[in-house]
Structure 1
């Protein structure tokens, strides 16, 4: 092989190497920045083929997708009641400013994860510390996570990232305080139950007292009305008897005697020991009722 041909092959190979070192690609799932001697000289690359100066310029690529941070060890925090809780959380985030992200974290995702975890932990401590246990785990759970996200977002902006969501996966009492907390909860429930029973007993006693009073009033009014009606009936009966006697005294006496016979003799097993000539039998002994 001649020297000129060999030189041409070497030159062509060097050109291919330089070309290979100068070209780089960016896909839809990546963000890229170009560095020249450690200084950012270009950002916001569109997906496709791009060029750089070999050796003097380098390219750093970062994921464009949404990433997740999951807390490996539940955090121990304290509520407004000074009760300890173990909070397990996860975070969704993404890079929005590649230059600021590179400047603040060196482009290392582990560094970004660590700093974001600390930001979220501080937000959790702040928000849980302003709420009681019941507010943190039930009543204001949605509001709590919203406030945590808002608190952490402002701190995360300095990293060139955007926090998309912060979620509390699990909230538990630590082993060293769980039994005491459950005991306090049982005592509190027992106190509330005793208070409710006392209130119920008081209301029941009031209802019974009211019912007894109303019963007494109703019976007294009924007895009064019955006595009034009985008196009116007796007066009317006496009036009828007097009127009947005045119209026909003999018939009145006969009717009363017949009525007396019916009431005294008409029952089975009745026994009367009387003188046959007793005035009681005058209508039986004499059809005219003469004595």
Structure 2
């Protein structure tokens, strides 16, 4: 029984020892083997590898993928015309030489990101100081980003290389600081209100002009129509008078009788009309009394 226990314990020890000596490097990582705190070997290719058991050798991993560093502060920068602006940016970078990176930067990605953030920030400040706000918002922004990238690469590839490669530097936002932004918005609002009021005033003036012109044309049209109507009415009255005169001239007795009937019709137009007159002494009712009869028309 003791023999079996010893064999079992030996197997467990051998497995533990083998597991401490074997390690796998992923395709997304570098494997760094340390011997008593010093870099012994750097594994660049993925696969199964061997090392001495701890504490003689240890292994750590560093990401070899393309990393993104975003700006983390909102500290304003001064432009050429002394305007305070806030710039948001990001950097795409990767660790290319693990040995140099560990010796000159740190043992993890956070150390490189921290130092790279400082370098990029200083480079942006230097380049922004040389440019106006208009340059930051125009196509010259591309030149700014190219200059920052060049300066950052010169810094990380200097006397003590960082072992990193900066792939791209980009600006995502350029804005004034909050106090200036509020002032700019107020000026823009005032300008838009001024333009709106000017447009409304111009529109009101044009509207009054159109209404006045329409009223003038209406008055002219009504006057012309009234003139034409009066002209036509006058011509009709003249024609009617001529016809009446021609007709009544043929038989004056009938004309007198017809006019008497027309006078009766006008006088007794309504049921309540009352005329107080002496029929014996008035000639108004001669036609009704038969004193005036229409003569026979002679042909």
TM range, smaller chain: 0.5 to 0.7
How far off is 1:74 after superposition? Answer: 0.9
1:48 aligns with 2:51: no
- Which of 74, 95, 98 aligns to 2:96? It is 98
1:238 maps to 241
2:286 maps to 282
User: Is the contact made by 1:69 and 1:91 (CA closer than 8 Å) also made in structure 2?
Assistant: yes
Q: Secondary structure at the match of 2:260?
A: helix
User: Is the contact made by 1:91 and 1:166 (CA closer than 8 Å) also made in structure 2?
Assistant: yes
User: Is the contact made by 2:70 and 2:89 (CA closer than 8 Å) also made in structure 1?
Assistant: yes
How far off is 1:198 after superposition? Answer: 2.1
Distance 1:206 1:122, change over 3 A: farther
Matches of 2:80 and 2:258 in 1, distance apart?
97
Distance 1:216 1:188, change over 3 A: same
1:267 aligns with 2:265: no
Distance 1:214 1:150, change over 3 A: farther
- Which of 216, 219, 226 aligns to 1:216? It is 219
Of residues 146-155 and 191-200 in structure 1, the stretch that sits farther from structure 2 once superposed is 146-155
How far off is 1:244 after superposition? Answer: 2.8
Which structure is larger by alpha-carbon Rg, 1 or 2? 2
User: Is the contact made by 1:101 and 1:107 (CA closer than 8 Å) also made in structure 2?
Assistant: no
2:64 maps to 64
How far off is 1:284 after superposition? Answer: 0.9
Q: How many residues align?
A: 244
- Which of 121, 131, 134 aligns to 1:130? It is 134
Matches of 2:215 and 2:82 in 1, distance apart?
52
Gap runs ≥5 in structure 2: 1-16, 34-40, 52-58, 107-111, 157-164, 295-299
Q: Secondary structure at the match of 1:266?
A: coil
User: Is the contact made by 1:116 and 1:156 (CA closer than 8 Å) also made in structure 2?
Assistant: yes
Matches of 1:207 and 1:27 in 2, distance apart?
81
Matches of 1:289 and 1:278 in 2, distance apart?
17
Distance 1:107 1:252, change over 3 A: farther
1:28 aligns with 2:32: no
Q: Secondary structure at the match of 2:76?
A: strand
Matched ranges for 1:168-187 at <5 A: 168=173, 171=175, 173-175=177-179, 177=180, 180-187=183-190
- Root mean square deviation, CA, Å: 4.6
Distance 1:273 1:114, change over 3 A: same
More helix by share: 1
2:195 maps to 192
Matches of 2:177 and 2:274 in 1, distance apart?
93
Scaled by the length of structure 1, what TM-score is found? 0.61
User: Is the contact made by 1:92 and 1:164 (CA closer than 8 Å) also made in structure 2?
Assistant: yes
Q: Secondary structure at the match of 1:195?
A: helix
Deviation per residue, 1:65-113 (Å, 9 max, x gap): 34333333213246899754444x2525132x7259958x945513223
Deviation per residue, 1:20-69 (Å, 9 max, x gap): 6xx986422235799xxxxxxx99943225799xxxxxx99752334333
Matches of 1:173 and 1:206 in 2, distance apart?
47
Gap runs ≥5 in structure 1: 1-15, 35-41, 53-58
Matches of 1:196 and 1:48 in 2, distance apart?
74
Q: Secondary structure at the match of 2:241?
A: helix
Deviation per residue, 1:192-232 (Å, 9 max, x gap): 33322321232122122212221221222221221122122
